[in-house]
Structure 1
Amino acid sequence: MEEVDKENLPKILIIDSDDEHLESLKKILSKLKVSIYEINSGDKAFSLLLRHEFILILLDVKMLGMDAQEIAQLILDNKKNNHIPVICMTTNNKDESQINQGYNLSAIDCLSKPINKDILLSKVEIFLHCFNKEKKGEKEKIQEELVNQLEEKNRELQKSQLAALNMMEDANEARAALVKLQAKELEQFAYTATHDLKTPINNIESYLTFLKKDTTINSEKSLIAIEWIDKSVDHCKKLIQNLVTVVKIKEESSFDISSIDVGSILKTVLGLLQSEIKQSKARINVDFKRCPKIRYSVPHLESLLLNLLSNAIKYRSSNRALEINISTVNEDGYSLLSVQDNGIGINVNRDREKVFGLFKRAHKDTDGTGMGIYIVNETLKKFGGKIELKSEVDKGATFMVYFKH
């Protein structure tokens, strides 16, 4: 800590071959807030002058070894030190040759030994005052430059922020225009899907009915083809219906929301899935005691449960009996509906986008349009709700649906 303080104080260098005089000068100057470096040989001066910046040098004219002339020349030759004021010390104030020698060394003043304490302190204080004043001026200049730089940076930042805000406004306008355009295109596509596509599909379905009734068709390949066409037609009809649903969700600004008894809606859905549940031998556990009612739209809640339960059945594991747990609780301003299964599970980190995306499926080895969960998610967003997924491969999946109170 002392070394750090010494380094931060103004530095004075005393060069005198008389050790006793060195100690005396050091004692006098110790009353000032300065850092004192004393050496008794000119040979040591070079090293110190390279490593430190001094505000004043006290130099004995009658030095031993490297004489005062050499030391003075060393100071003058170095650009780093040639501005440092030098006070020469002579042994006799009446010896004009020594005084002249001091001034010849480019000294700004001369003091004779024995050094008068008060005179020395007053002279050194003058240099210290000038130094502090100069440093203060430099500090104020630096501060002024920093303030100017900061103001300039602030102006640049304000310009950047303004440009960013303009870009955001432009982006928002572009996004709004794009949404309108997409909605219109989607609406046009839905119209095409419900009118232009329905007609040929209905024609195929009618012709398929005749083929099914034709008892002369006995070929195994023909029967397989008829079955495949039947499934494809059914898939197309579901796809068209889902597209229409997506458009309706995008266009609808409000829904008929009411407090719904979850148990009664689930009963309806289980009735619709009766055949699938029986075939899969699924065991379904229900717990609605903690939150028996949910504020939502009746048809949308039916669609949601139908999608989640049919997915649980569709993606069951062949290694264990299917078990589905359905429960509700109140949590942080939401009614939380959980549908948990022990099926094949999903790699959430890899396939999350596929689960919630349009026309995307995490598992491609089963039938589906890739729109069910997308529709559920988009509808929930309209209500201020959300859906989350937790899953591990070969352990099952849990869909957590949050309905705003």
Structure 2
Amino acid sequence: MSEDNNELLPDLDLRLTESNPDDLYDRAPCGYCSCLPDGTLVRLNQTLLGWLGYRREELVARRCLQELFTIGGQLHYETHGAPLLLLQDQVRELSYSLRCKDGRMRPVLLNAVLVRTAEGQPLVIQATLFDITERRKYEQELLRTKQLAEEQREQLARANEQLVSKNEQLTRINADLDSFVYTASHDLKQPIDNMAGLFEELKSAATFHDPQAAPMLTMFEGALRQILSTIQGLTEVVQQQRALEQLPAEEVALQSFTEDIIRGLQPMYAPYATPFVLDFGAVPTLRMARSSLHSMLYNLLSNALKYAMPGRAPHIRVSTEAAGDRVVLVVQDNGRGIDLTRHSKELFQLFRRFHPDVEGSGMGLYLVNRLVHQVGGQVEVDSTVDQGTTFRIYLPR
């Protein structure tokens, strides 16, 4: 009867209770054998014979236990296993490999006891062998996995070293390029200024009778202005970058900060009512170097005014959004827009301009992108020609 309910247990087949010691010995799930103290085999069960592939008469009184092992196993048994048996009458979990008749190897664990006579003399060794083939496969797989992990770790370490080396090299190259640009622009400025002065003297002192002279002089003057603007732009980019790299980050209240920038832009939108809408309710403050944030917002807002759609009052919305561990600063306008299918890869290149009829240096978006990447952020742009542009700047909190 069960303790939990009154249901009868099923009747047992009485044949299951019958036991035959010889049958249990021969059909055990492990290998059994008995041998003399020198290792000579005197008895083996059928399980062990099945593993080895030998007939009983091929082994009993003809072979020793240690002869069933590999050469390394034989040496170990004779120098370690047998002396331990004599010393402590038993050994446990000695690992060997059986050599089967067909040449295959079967890994086993050996447990053995030494039976002595009443006088204490060694009589017989009774050994039990456990098949550990699957265990050995598992161990080998673990070892292979460990070796693979070590190789991958070493590869990753080498890759990291190469990456650090490349980063250091790029840092040096960037510093060298900045120094080169600053030096080149500084050295070129003086001779270009001299050319401009000489050109002014030439225009005032010389008389040109060729009717093509006037437009050529105008073209030359425009080229001089463009060269001067480019040199000045290069100098400003390097100087500003060097200055911003040394400034500490601080918590900036966006509402008042942006309003100050807008007041400085008032001459650009004087003919219109205030075109700006500010919404910083989602994230009212931003941690960033004040000068970096000022340069970034000033360039985006001034561009929004500069590239307003002719005949349409500008409308510019500046807002923030929360995005997990990042803040999104959004600047949206209804201006001319940019054809991203043609210019997406050139968007943040230095001196790249997309509306040549509007005066500009082509440095604004380059500087914005560089400032954002400097603090670990990224810029996304969505734009439609004649409808407007939206900049989404993702910055770490």
Query: Under a length normalisation based on structure 2, what TM-score does the superposition of the two structures give?
Result: 0.53
196, 199, 213: which is aligned to 2:190? 199
Query: 2:192 & 2:307 partners in 1: Cα distance?
Result: 29
Give the CA deviation at 1:340: 1.9
Q: 1:226 to 1:312 in 2, by over 3 A?
A: farther
Q: Report percent identity of matched pairs.
A: 25
In angstroms, what is the RMSD of aligned CA positions? 4.2
Change (3 A) 1:224 1:183: same
Name the stretch that deviates more: 200-209 or 357-366. Answer: 357-366
Instruction: Report the CA distance shift for 1:247/1:345 in structure 2 as closer, same or farther (over 3 A).
Output: same
Q: Which amino acid aligns with 1:172?
A: V
Contact 1:288 1:327 in 2 (8 A): yes
Letter in 1 for 2:303: N
149 and 389 in structure 1: CA distance in 2 versus 1, 3 angstrom threshold: same
Q: Which amino acid aligns with 1:263?
A: E
Deviation at 1:395, TM superposition (A): 2.7
Q: Does 1:391 align with 2:383?
A: yes
Question: Can you list the C-alpha shifts for 1:217-255, whole angstroms capped at 9, x where unaligned?
Answer: 687743433333333333333322332333335544322
Distance 1:348 1:197, change over 3 A: same
**1:56-93 CA distances to partner (integer Å, 9 max, x unpaired)?**
xxxxxxxxxxxxxxxxxxxxxxxxxxx9xxxxxxxxxx
Change (3 A) 1:211 1:311: farther
In 1, Cα distance between equivalents of 2:396 and 2:162: 32
Q: How does 1:360-371 map to 2 (within 5 A)?
A: 360-361=352-353, 368-371=360-363
Deviates more, 1:290-299 or 1:307-316: 290-299
CA deviation string 1:259-314 (max 9, x = no partner): 3621122111333x36xx75xx7972332574777655555445334432443355
2:316, 2:334 within 8 Å by CA — same for their partners in 1?
no
Indicate which of 151, 155, 164 corresponds to 1:172: 164
- 1:238 counterpart SS class: helix
SS at match of 1:323: coil
Q: Distance in 1 between matches of 2:230 and 2:347?
A: 17
Structure 2: give runs of 5+ residues left out of the alignment. Answer: 1-14, 17-52, 54-107, 109-129
Q: In 1, distance between residues paired with 2:224 and 2:381?
A: 32
The whole-number CA distance in structure 2 between the counterparts of 1:214 and 1:208 is: 10
State the structure with more CA Rg: 1
Q: In structure 1, how many angstroms separate the alpha carbons of the residues matched to 2:165 and 2:197?
A: 48
Give the 3 Å change call, closer, same or farther, for CA 327–313 of structure 1 in structure 2.
Answer: closer
More strand by share: 2
In the alignment, structure 1 segments of 5+ residues that lack a partner are 1-30, 33-82, 84-136
Asked if the contact 2:349/2:366 (under 8 Å) is kept, the reply is yes
Distance 1:322 1:210, change over 3 A: farther
Residue 178 of structure 2 is aligned to residue 151 of structure 1: no
The residue aligned with 2:178 is 186
Supply the distance in 1 between the matched residues of 2:396 and 2:151 (Cα, whole angstroms). 41
Per-residue deviation, residues 41-61 of structure 1 (Å, max 9, x unmatched): xxxxxxxxxxxxxxxxxxxxx
Q: Say yes or no: does 1:328 pair with 2:324.
A: no
Deviation at 1:178, TM superposition (A): 2.9
CA contact (8 A) 1:327 1:337 kept: yes
> Counterpart of 2:381 in 1: which secondary structure?
strand
Alpha-carbon distance in structure 2 between the residues aligned to 1:251 and 1:358: 17
Which structure shows the bigger proportion of residues in helix conformation?
1
